[in-house]
Structures are given as C-alpha cells and as structure tokens.
C-alpha cells in the first residue's frame, strides 16, 4: 500500500518556526520544495496543503495550522475528503524518546504522550497510520517537556536533527512507494 498523505506536525506562527516541536513541518516543507509542490492555506483542511506528483502517484502534503493539540482535525478532514485510509497516511513528528540525529519509521502504536498523535488517533478512530519519528532528545525531567519542545534546539542538536531529516528524505521515495521494509532497513541501520 502506498502513502497518499504525508502530514508534518508543528505549530503555526513565526514564534514556533524553529522550535523542536516543528520537526514535522521542516520535513514536509523540504518535501514540498523537492517536488515543486506549493503549500497553500486550505480552510476546509485546517492547514496548508499541496499535491505532489511523484513516481508512485500523487501524494498530499499537509501542515495542520490548528496548533499541535488539534492536529487530528486537519488530518481527518483531508483523509475523509480524499478517502485516504489510516494505513495510507504518514505522520512526521518530533520524538522525545529518541536522541537528536535518530529517525525511526513505524506503523501504529500509542501516542506516547504526544498530543498531536493523541488527537489524530482520536479523530481518525485508528492508530494504524505510519509515523516517522524524528528524535529531539528529552530534557530529563518530564515537568520540563512542554517548555523543552517549544524551544530552539542547541546548535549541535539542530545539526543532528537536520542530519536525521536528510536521511529521512533519502528514504522517502521508498516510504511513499510503500516499500517500508527497505526504508526501515536503510533508516534504522544508518551510521550514527
């Protein structure tokens, strides 16, 4: 099964643009640029959307503009409109449980306390979408998490996150074509 919708999670607005929580936005922006797909505001999808034409077929790119906690509103609206199944959706998001520089692909599972994922699962009525988890590291104290994700990464962390984005973009053709095993093998065994 191919991926028909790639959703990057983040928060709208210049004050959040460079924060760790916006790692998903960064990947979708880069994907849009690579495929000359212009993201534009789509009110009915509560976000910025673009259709990219790829070898594997058309893929929708989406950046919800609802703020993280309501990301599912945008995902569900576009998925329902175009009859896209959860298994055909890739959600790209920041991941506290992975170190910067690490990217992991998986299907299904819980939300791990990530409010964007929690809302998407609730509104799609299924956890079976694919996730590309971009490591941002953990502040070490769970009371600091909200503050941590809404701050810019330190320079060396940002470099590692950028490297993980680059690795993720390299396997994206495999991911979008539904060759998840090949994509995971490359992504998960890449040199640290």
As annotated, the active-site residues are 21
Q: What are the tokens at 83?
A: 């009859």
**DSSP collapsed to 3 states, 43-71:** HHHCEEEEEEEECCEEEEEEEECCCHHHH
Buried b (16+ CB within 10 A) or exposed e, 83-109: ebebbbbbbbbbbbebebbbbbbeeee
Query: How many angstroms separate the CA atoms of 81 and 60, rounded?
Result: 12
Q: Are strands 40-42 and 47-54 parallel, antiparallel or unpaired?
A: antiparallel
Q: What are the tokens at 72?
A: 């599912």
């Amino acid at each position: 099964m191919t991926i028909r919708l790639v959703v990057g999670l983040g928060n709208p607005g210049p004050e959040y643009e460079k924060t760790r929580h916006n790692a998903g936005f960064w990947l979708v922006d880069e994907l849009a640029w690579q495929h000359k797909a212009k993201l534009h505001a789509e009110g009915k999808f509560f976000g910025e959307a673009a259709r990219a034409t790829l070898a594997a077929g058309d893929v929708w790119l989406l950046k919800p503009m609802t703020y993280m906690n309501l990301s599912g509103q945008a995902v569900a609206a576009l998925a329902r409109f175009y009859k896209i199944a959860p298994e055909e959706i890739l959600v790209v998001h920041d991941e506290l449980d992975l170190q910067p520089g690490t990217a992991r692909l998986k299907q299904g599972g819980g939300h791990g306390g990530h409010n964007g994922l929690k809302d998407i699962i609730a509104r799609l009525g299924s956890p079976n979408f694919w996730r590309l988890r971009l490591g941002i590291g953990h502040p070490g104290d769970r009371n600091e998490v909200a503050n941590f994700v809404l701050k810019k990464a330190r320079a060396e962390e940002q470099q590692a996150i950028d490297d993980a984005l680059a690795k993720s973009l390299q396997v994206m053709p495999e991911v979008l074509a539904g060759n998840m095993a090949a994509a995971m093998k490359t992504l998960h065994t890449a040199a640290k």
